Amino acid sequence: MEIDALLQQIDIGEDQDYEFKLANGGLPKDIWETISAFANTDGGYIILGISEKHDRFSILGIRKPQTLQKEFWDNHNNPQKLSMPICSNSDVEVKTVHQHQLLVIHVPRSTRTQRPVYINNNPMTGTYKRNYEGDYRCSKDEVQQMFRDANDEPQDFQILDKFDLNDLDSETLKTFRQRFSNREPDHPWLALDDRKLLYQLGGWRCDRHSGHEGLTVAGLLMFGRERSILDAFPHYQLDYQERLSNNPEERWTYRVTLDGKWEANLFNFYYRVYVRLVNDLDVPFQLDRDAVRKGETHVHEALREALVNTLIHAAYQSTRPIQIVKLLDGYIFSNPGRLRIPLHRLYEGGLSDARNPNLQKMFQMLGLGEKAGSGFGKILRAWKEQQWLIPLVSEKLDIEVTSVILPMTSFIPEDVEAELKGIVGNAYCQLSELDRIILVLAHQFEEISNLDIQRYRREHPRDISERLRNLVKNGWLNQSGRCRGTRYTLSSHNHSEQLSLLPNSEHYELSSEHYELSSEHYELSSEHYGNLLKVAAPIREKGRINKDLVKQVILELCSEHYLTLRTLAELLGRKSNSIRNHYVNPMIDEGLLELKYPEQINHPQQAYKAVPKLDQAIN
């Protein structure tokens, strides 16, 4: 790490990627929790020799760096302390800053086969992950999923005890045979009975060591009865939604989920959903009787790949649902489980590591899904041909969910450009092409990082960082987090200093991204905005503050209208992640806040309102 970058980070403070510790009395005891957290999340730096007072950090240095280094390596290489060595020699170095010596420890992100990285020889109590505010101990379910992902044995090849062919839906298996026969009429497997066919597909297995045989996870998920699947996976949930209405009160216009009206296995879900995904695409298209490859375009092929990938890469032991969302201007595919390959390798293509390869094989026998890591490349190709925004892959490490966002939006549509001009004002004409692309990406994805922008531009990351700083300095972007964890969002339209840039600023109807006022017009006067700032002032103007007071202020802010997380963060002068994790989510659990979109927690226009007290509700 360069000295200038280190000084800048000390001035900024701790965040997702940096932890400062004093180390006056030797190696801090809690350093190992942070090492576990960084390794199991996205990596980071620990800087020893930094003092914190009143949310300000200062350099005090360390007295005996060689002694600290020896103590670090002794424990780092001790399996009783750390489950496996995660750092290399080049990751630990002494830096001299202003005549003070600091020990800088870089903790790399662990691979899936290394996780969980845990301490004190106990994975269930010694596994940690990182969020913006610090380290937290992983739950039993999180640890077990890490162990499953670390194992090279397919997660869908396990034999399910006390499950048999009676747990399968015969109509589903019959339809699979028909589609398989239509594609490969002379295939020898078609002559096999159901059990032998399942054996060839990976849906039935015989353990060669124990002699035990039975239905596998893949067989049950692909062909099973809904009740049987839920017996094996109590949190199993498939959710397809169409949100094709401009009415914010209408959460979805069509939905496929587990409702008892169909056998909700993966085979049936795929064929119900795929037709809905493509039935109104504005491109030439024909579908054969098996819903595959007859005059279809690359966009249809891409949507098929995205749907199959979501199903074969999902972690079905998770409590999170598989969710597919069709929007007016794009699609979102989300599955429980982290990526099993590095993100940059996904975009490069050529590498595949399916969590459920037997499910992958079953779909491939029907002509669905690709081998050797070419599937995502076909999605990128299709979107590039249409000159749409590049698909964005996002990992939500706190909830272990991976999402693929496929926007069907050109780079700068007229309505988006008009909105950006409203934010930037006359200066819009002086913006560089890179500036405009950054603003468009922030508009489209709501929250972006330097890495996200690199998917669209060839400029060096340093040049992108410079443009981001300039856009933040001018008030056109908001910034949260720092370094690799830095995220950027479009600035709200409701800041008083921006009123001159807005049309009809005296009576401005705020969109759902800001203050949620339905169809009412809101007079954005400096007096009223000042009142909102006064409500939040006790929190915004102080560093550390009593949590009960923060909750009280949030309830007051949300007493009349739904407010988005972004709006709350701006008013309170806090980071969005901090407000979400430490206040909003617990207050929802306590029944103090209600969601505008309760059936879709991650709705892009999600907002929160205080739940009226009983006496207020009666009145």
153-409 and 3-140 share a CATH fold: no
The pLDDT of residue 508 is 30
Q: Model confidence over 542-600: pLDDT tens digits?
A: 766 788 888 999 999 888 888 888 788 888 887 776 788 788 888 988 889 998 888 76
* CATH hierarchy code of domain 411-491: 1.10.10.10
- Alpha carbon distance 240, 256 (integer Å): 5
Angle value at C-alpha 9, between 583 and 398, nearest 5 degrees: 35
Angle at 123 between CA 117 and CA 127, to 5 degrees: 55
Closest alpha carbon to 303 in 339, 279, 286: 279
Whole-number Å distance between alpha carbons of 562 and 71:
52
SS3 at position 43: coil
Closest CA to 157 of 360, 301, 350: 360
Query: Can you give the pLDDT at residue 417?
Result: 75
Q: Is the dihedral of CA 28, 33, 36, 39 positive or negative?
A: negative
Return the residue matching tokens 């979107």.
Answer: 383
* Other C-beta atoms lying within 10 Å of the C-beta of residue 506: 10
Closest C-alpha among 14, 75, 68 to residue 46: 14
Q: What is the pLDDT of residues 368-415, one digit of tens each?
A: 987 655 688 899 988 888 878 889 998 888 788 999 999 998 767 677
pTM above 0.85, yes or no: no
CA atoms within 13 A on the CB side of 16: 21
153-409 has which fold? Heat Shock Protein 90 (3.30.565)
Instruction: Tell me if 265 sits within 8 A of 169, measured CB to CB.
Output: yes
Q: Where are the beta strands (DSSP E) in 132-285?
A: 134-137, 204-206, 213-215, 238-243, 254-257
What would the mean pLDDT of 458-482 be, rounded to a whole number? 86
**Highest CATH level, class, for 510-619:** mainly alpha
- pLDDT over 90 (residue 311): yes
Contact 102, 61 (CB under 8 A): yes
pLDDT score recorded for residue 45: 92
Tokens matching residue 42: 């996205």
Provide the 3-class DSSP secondary structure of residue 301: helix
Instruction: Supply the pLDDT for residue 581.
Output: 75
Using CA atoms, how far residue 59 sits from 3, 13, 48, 97, 466, in Å, is 13, 12, 9, 8, 27
At residue 571's C-alpha, the angle toward residues 570 and 575, to 5°, is 40
- Label residue 254 by pLDDT band (50, 70, 90): very high
Range among 25-34, 79-88, 97-106, 145-154 rated most confident:
79-88
CA distance 149 to 143: 10
DSSP H or E segment with residue 330 = strand 330-336
Mark out the alpha helices in 391-459 (DSSP H runs). Answer: 414-424, 433-445, 450-454
Asked if the 3-140 domain carries CATH number 3.30.950.30, the reply is: yes
Closest CA to 203 of 190, 194, 191, 212: 194
Contact 215, 167 (CB under 8 A): yes
Backbone phi and psi for residue 519, each to the nearest 5 degrees, phi listed first: -100, 5
Of all residues in the chain, the percent with pLDDT exceeding 70 is 84
Q: Is the pLDDT of residue 524 over 70?
A: no
User: The tokens of 168 are what?
Assistant: 């399968």
Integer Cα distance of 263 and 439 in angstroms: 45
- Mean pLDDT computed over 467-492: 83
Q: b/e for 444-477, b at 16 or more Cβ within 10 A?
A: bbbbbbbebbebbbeeeeeebeebbeebeeeebb
Query: What's the pLDDT at 132?
Result: 66
Contact of 114 with 150, CB cutoff 8 Å: yes
pLDDT tens column, 182-230? 999 999 999 999 999 999 999 999 999 999 999 999 999 999 999 999 9
> Can you give the pLDDT at residue 11?
66
Beta bridge partners, 129, equal: 136
Angle formed by the axes of helices 65-76 and 31-40, nearest 10°: 60
Quick check: 493 pLDDT over 60?
no
Count of alpha carbons within 13 angstroms of residue 258, beta-carbon side: 17
Please tell me what DSSP assigns to residue 429.
G
Please tell me the predicted confidence (pLDDT) of residue 546.
Answer: 80
Give domain limits for the chain.
3-140, 153-409, 411-491, 510-619
**Residue owning tokens 């969302």:** 325
Q: CA–CA distance from 129 to each of 29, 300, 302, 480 (Å)?
A: 17, 38, 34, 20
Is residue 234 very low, low, confident or very high in pLDDT (cuts 50, 70, 90)? very high
Angle between helical axes of 526-540 and 565-572 (0-180°, round to 10): 70
CA 484 – CA 15 distance, rounded (Å): 10
pLDDT digits (tens, 9 = 90+) for 30-57: 999 999 999 998 899 999 988 887 667 8
608: pLDDT strictly greater than 50:
yes
